[in-house]
Amino acid sequence: MDINEQLIERRKASKKGGGEARIEKQHSQKKLTARERIISLLDEGTFQEIGMFVEHRATSFGLDKNKIPGDGVITGYGRVHGRLIYVFSQDFTVLGGSLSETHAAKICRVMDMALKNGAPLIGLNDSGGARIQEGVVSLSGYADIFFRNTRASGVIPQLSVIMGPCAGGAVYSPALTDFVVMVEDTSYMFVTGPNVVKTVTHEEVTSEDLGGAKAHAEKSGVNHFTAGNDVEALKKVRDLLTYMPQNCNELAPEPTVFEYNDSKRSTIGTILPENNTLPYDIRKVIDCVIDDKSLREVHEDYAKNIVVGFARIEGKTIGVVANQPAALAGVLDIDASRKGARFVRFCDAFNIPLLVFEDVPGFLPGTDQEWRGIITHGAKLLYAFSEATVPRITVITRKAYGGAYCVMNSKSVGADLSFAWPTSEIAVMGAKGAAEIIFRKEIASAEDAAIKHKEKEDEYAEMFANPYRAAERGIIDEVILPEETRDKVIAGFRMLENKAESLPLKKHGNIPL
pLDDT digits (tens, 9 = 90+) for 148-183: 999 999 999 999 999 999 988 899 999 999 999 999
Q: Are residues 132 and 101 in contact, defined by beta-carbon separation less than 8 angstroms?
A: no
Same domain, 277 and 318: yes
* Residue 333 within a domain: yes
Total Cβ atoms within 10 A of residue 261? 12
- Maximum Cα–Cα distance for the chain, whole Å? 107
Residue 17 within a domain: yes
Q: Is residue 254 part of a domain?
A: no
Secondary structure of residue 195 in the 3-state scheme: helix
Q: What is the pLDDT of residues 35-44, one digit of tens each?
A: 999 999 999 9
What SS3 class is residue 126? coil
Q: What are phi and psi of 424, to 5 degrees?
A: -75, 150
Cβ neighbours around 459 below 10 Å, total: 15
Residue 249 lies in a domain: no
**DSSP type of residue 409:** T
User: Could you tell me if residue 510 is inside a domain?
Assistant: no
Same domain as 158, residue 147: yes
Task: Say if residue 387 is in the same domain as residue 436.
Answer: no
Q: Are the beta carbons of 361 and 330 closer than 8 angstroms?
A: yes
Q: Are residues 453 and 383 in the same domain?
A: no
Q: What is the pLDDT of residue 205?
A: 93
H/E element, 299: none
pLDDT at 59: 63
Same domain, 234 and 344: no
Q: Please indicate, yes or no, if residue 51 is contained in any of the structural domains.
A: yes
**Is residue 298 in some structural domain?**
yes
What does the pLDDT read at residue 58?
Answer: 66
Q: Which of 264, 228, 347 is nearest to 298 (CA)?
A: 347
Q: Are 412 and 406 in contact (CB under 8 A)?
A: yes
**DSSP one-letter string for 308-373:** EEEEEETTEEEEEEEE-TTTGGG-B-HHHHHHHHHHHHHHHHTT--EEEEEEE--BPPSHHHHHTT
Task: Say yes or no: 377 and 458 in one domain.
Answer: no
Q: Mark whether 167 and 73 lie in a shared domain.
A: yes
83 and 205 fall within a common domain: yes
Nearest to 83 by CA among 26, 125, 31, 41: 41
Cβ contacts of 177 within 8 Å, gap of 6 or more = 121, 123, 149, 153, 158, 159, 160
- 388 with 436, same domain? no
Are both 436 and 407 inside the same structural domain? no
> Do 236 and 292 share a structural domain?
no
- Verify that 415 and 441 share a domain, yes or no: no
φ and ψ at residue 425, rounded to 5 degrees: -130, 110
Please tell me the predicted confidence (pLDDT) of residue 132: 74
Torsion of CA 347, 349, 353, 359, to 10 degrees: 50
Separation of first and last alpha carbons in the chain? 62
Range of the domain at 448: 431-464
- Burial (Cβ within 10 Å: 0-12, 13-18, ≥19) of residue 365: exposed
Q: For each of the chain's 513 residues, which pLDDT tens digit applies?
A: 789 988 888 888 888 887 889 899 999 999 999 999 999 999 999 999 998 888 777 666 667 677 777 888 999 999 999 999 999 999 999 888 888 889 999 999 999 999 999 999 999 999 988 887 777 888 899 999 999 999 999 999 999 999 999 988 899 999 999 999 999 999 999 999 899 999 999 999 999 999 999 999 999 999 999 999 999 999 999 999 999 999 999 999 998 889 999 999 999 999 999 998 899 999 999 999 999 999 999 999 999 999 999 999 999 999 999 999 999 999 999 999 999 999 999 999 999 999 999 999 999 999 999 999 999 999 999 999 999 999 999 999 999 998 999 999 999 999 999 999 999 988 877 766 776 777 777 776 777 767 766 777 777 777 777 899 889 999 999 999 999 999 999 999 999 999 999 899 999 999 999
* Domain edge (last residue) among 174, 206, 241: 241
Any idea which residues carry the catalytic annotation?
168-169, 403-404
How many domains does the chain fold into?
A: 3
312 belongs to a structural domain: yes
Amino acid 437: pLDDT: 75
